[in-house]
Amino acid sequence: MIKAPSIHDLTSHDHERRKRVEQATEILTYQAWFEYNRARQICDEIDVAFLQALQYHDNPDVNSEVRPLSLFISGEINTGKTTLVIKYMNYCKLIAKKEGIPFSRWDILYYETPVRVTLKRMFSAILETFGIEIHGSALRNTHTDVLIDRIIKELKSRKVRLLFIDEIQNLIKADLEDKKDIFNGFKKLTNQSQTRIILIGTPEAFELFHAADWVEERFRPLNLPAWEINEEYLDLLYSIYKAYGDFLPDWDLTNKDGKINPTIAKLLHKLSRGRLGKLIQIVRYGAVHALLQNRTNITEEDYKTVFHLTYEIMNGKIAVKNRVSKTQKPVKKKRK
């Protein structure tokens, strides 16, 4: 039997190593929000829709000649669409708490489109957000209009103001007939539910929806574009530096004058392709990798770890996994 050596004292190296790991863990769990103009503009548009729905629910007998618009937030993958929506939901809760306004869990609902979406799966999954589950033969024997009518009934009775439907690009892979019927279902929801529906997806998904002639009258497009290298982008990088700079005293994202280093700014823009979600992921992974290598500055190789490593918190520890390239083919074993 092998005995482990005893440790009587913790060395300074032990303390430093533990401190770096704790800092790396904190970076992985720290969810920062970075303000920027386009996000504020979109939040304002969502606010208008929310307040309009609020007034409509409080005064259902008041008719308006203007058709209320729902919204479609469009942007490439990893541009920060979902983060923006979650930020808005948290903002509404904080405003309500601060001003003493009642805020129900049903005021704003968030739903994610299933990956392998079908006509009935789309609407039965929305029903599941209300705790209503219909599966198997019961689902097969239920007409889609019945599902949609049930959704409308739940939206009205619970006075849902906003219904966010994320990852709507998953509809692109649906069958042609399913797409047509799902679009008709959305049309019925926008006409009869009194709830403002906010779709979230890629530009391809918006084009798919825009092909339907009724969409333009019911959905206002809100585009969340990729970033260009300009003053606002440099201000964003400085905000990111302020958020994570305490962990990395030697981080050269800023120069001696306290301004953003243009070389690193261009590198980060190139690696992220101007996508905010990707940019933050690159910085976080780069910082974690540097700290685990006993450094307090991020090198170019650290930034690139996001493309081949995955960091996860498991049981309070950092788990590191190698990413498998989507183009990498599995190696076949030769038969003996």
Model confidence pLDDT, tens digit, residues 51-103: 888 876 666 555 554 567 889 999 999 999 999 999 999 999 998 888 888 88
Q: Are strands 196-201 and 162-166 parallel, antiparallel or unpaired?
A: parallel
Q: What are phi and psi of 112, to 5 degrees?
A: -110, 125
**Whether residue 336 has pLDDT greater than 50:** no
Together in a domain, 166 and 212 = yes
What one-letter code names the amino acid at 176? L
- Check which CATH number belongs to the domain holding 76 and give it: 3.40.50.300
**What dihedral do alpha carbons 206, 210, 214, 216 form, nearest 10°?**
80
pTM: 0.82
Tokens of 140: 């097969």
Together in a domain, 144 and 249 = no
Residue 48 forms part of a structural domain: yes
Could you tell me what percent of the chain has a pLDDT over 90? Answer: 43
Q: If you average pLDDT over residues 232-252, what whole number do you get? A: 93
Together in a domain, 245 and 163 = no
- Domain hosting residue 301, numbered range: 228-322
How many distinct structural domains can be found in the chain?
2
Together in a domain, 236 and 108 = no
Cβ–Cβ < 8 Å for 194, 155: yes
Around Cβ 83, how many Cβ atoms within 10 Å? 18
**Nearest to residue 125, comparing CAs of 106, 151, 162, 104?**
151
Secondary structure (DSSP) of 236-273: HHHHHHHHHGGG-TT-TTB-TTSSB-HHHHHHHHHHHT
**Nearest to residue 82, comparing CAs of 202, 183, 234?**
202
Domain end position, chosen among 162, 193, 223: 223
Domain end position, chosen among 195, 223, 251: 223
Any bridge partners for residue 200, and if so which?
Answer: 73
pLDDT at position 59 is 64
